[in-house]
Amino acid sequence: MRIALVMLPCWSVFTPPLNLSYIARVLRQEGHAVTVFDFNARLWRAMQGQEEDWWDFAQYERWQNSQIFEEQTLPTVKPLLDSLLKEIASRGFEAVGFSVFHTTAPCVRYASKMLKEACPGIKIVWGGPACTPHWVKGDIEEETVDAVVIGEGEATAPELFNALAKGASICGMAGVAARGADGKMLCGKKRPPVLAHELPLPRYDDYDLSLYRFSQLPIMMSRGCTGACTFCQETVFFKPYRMRPAAHIVEEIEQDIKQYGIREFSTCDSLLNGNHKILEQVADLICERRLDISWGGYARLDRRLTVELLGKLKKAGCKWLSFGLESGSQKVLDLMNKGISLEQAAQTIKATFEAGIEAHINLIVGFPGETEDDFDMTLDFISGNWQSISIVNTGETLGVGPGMTLFEKPKAFGILTDKLYCFRRNWTFPLFGLV
């Protein structure tokens, strides 16, 4: 089957998409002819020179808010986007797979409808973290999309596209949501979690690496998280936590150095220190093999991130760690179910700095139950630890979406809304209800 895999705006332009690289590898093993299109990076490059960079994190509302996308974003990007979609339509693909995040969703919906009109026989498939049964139900029943992969896609995609190639039924297939004979959405059972070390290593031959903001490649050491924060969707999507064997991770690093000459990596993990023993083994192997690389990623504020381990990470090329502090109020941390103390957080941040690794912290503003005094405590924490903090990723207002404990049990957190989904906006004080 001739398949196009597509990334649309808005997503990171720091590195080529790791997700499409994995899916392309498993589909090619099944004999499918796969072409990968990173239209996200191509549009970003084409729109350079504007007063504002629409791919900046602060501009994501332009893409993820459907109304703003339709009224403001689409009129500007439509000529460029349509020309890219014509490229797909003209090449005779039998199926197109879109990677769907909340920031890409409006663009994916537009592209899917356009391709259905231009190529009536084409099969449209969606997959990604935004693809929950609740969220895709209307699109499936309105026939905007033919099949949606629910959950991790590496095991589901080969079976799904094999069936589509044969014209076989996909209704009830594990890991797939599709339109049943009665016109209603039918979801198959959940698939077991993917073991990433059993997958072929991702490759980046499909990408023009000069398009991206940095000369670096993504790498995924683990999937899932050892925490259970009430505001998190990733824990649900990648459940349970799994970390690849150290040798498998370092094998990928060596492959990328040899194949692409790139020595800078960005980990795509929710946290790279979910298994401190394996993380230490990774650092030891990098040092033993004398791999001159630099890397960093998200990490949990954990007392097991010791001075000794941080020293090994530094020697192995770790340049920065980004910690999900979220708040300087212990009360708010407990409401979030963070499982950390402020004392522990301060110690880990200081130890990271003293090891020569940049410590970044991330904040969330507007968690239900947070008061102005709680926010002042966050400012006090930053002020009291500023010498150890390299970057403060300024507080993002809280968003609520499917899979989060906040979404599933809104009344328990005092969330007042008649809508089942919202983006990061329109919080009111002091009740913190959604309007």
Residue 33 is encoded by which pair of tokens?
A: 């002819």
pLDDT tens-digit profile, the chain (435 residues):
999 999 999 999 999 999 999 999 999 999 999 999 999 999 999 999 888 899 988 888 899 999 999 999 999 999 999 999 999 999 999 999 999 998 999 999 999 999 999 999 999 999 999 998 988 999 999 999 999 999 999 999 999 999 999 999 999 999 999 999 999 999 999 999 998 888 999 999 999 999 999 999 999 999 999 988 988 877 777 788 999 999 999 999 999 999 999 999 999 999 999 999 999 999 999 999 999 999 999 999 999 999 999 999 999 999 999 999 999 999 999 999 999 999 999 999 999 999 999 999 999 998 999 999 999 999 999 999 999 999 998 766 777 776 788 888 888 888 776 454 444 444 433 333 333
Residue with tokens 């000794």: 308
DSSP secondary structure letters along 267-296: E--S-TTSSHHHHHHHHHHHHHTT---EEE
Q: Which domain holds residue 148?
A: 2-187
Return the CATH number at 229: 3.20.20.70
Measured between alpha carbons, how far is residue 359 from residues 284, 300, 362, 411 in Å? 21, 12, 10, 35
Residue with tokens 């949501």: 177
User: How many folded domains does the chain comprise?
Assistant: 2
Residues 252 and 147 placed together within one structural domain of the fold: no
Residues 284 and 390 placed together within one structural domain of the fold: yes
Classify 53 as helix, strand or coil. coil
CA distance 112 to 98: 9
How does DSSP classify residue 360?
A: E
CA distance 229 to 233: 9
* 279 belongs to a structural domain: yes
Of 197, 152, 204, which Cα lies nearest the Cα of 18?
Answer: 204
Residues 164 and 302 placed together within one structural domain of the fold: no
Residues 244 and 384 placed together within one structural domain of the fold: yes
Cα 182–185–188 angle (5° rounding)? 115
Cα 329–331–335 angle (5° rounding)? 115
Q: What pLDDT is recorded for position 125?
A: 98
Residues 53 and 155 placed together within one structural domain of the fold: yes
- Say whether pTM exceeds 0.75: yes
* 422 belongs to a structural domain: no
Classify 68 as helix, strand or coil. helix
Residue 387 is encoded by which pair of tokens?
A: 């010498």
Encode pLDDT of 128-174 as tens digits: 999 989 889 999 999 999 999 999 999 999 999 999 999 999 999 99
Return the CATH number at 83: 3.40.50.2300
* 428 belongs to a structural domain: no
Q: What pLDDT is recorded for position 234?
A: 76
Q: Are 262 and 292 in contact (CB under 8 A)?
A: no
Measured between alpha carbons, how far is residue 131 from residues 138, 141, 178, 271, 405 in Å? 12, 14, 12, 22, 17
Cα 107–140–202 angle (5° rounding)? 60
Q: Are 124 and 150 in contact (CB under 8 A)?
A: no
Return the number of other C-beta atoms located less than 10 Å from residue 421's C-beta.
14
How deeply is 102 buried, as exposed, middle or buried, from its count of CB atoms within 10 A (0-12, 13-18, 19+)? buried
Of 309, 229, 225, which Cα lies nearest the Cα of 268?
Answer: 225
Return the number of other C-beta atoms located less than 10 Å from residue 1's C-beta.
17
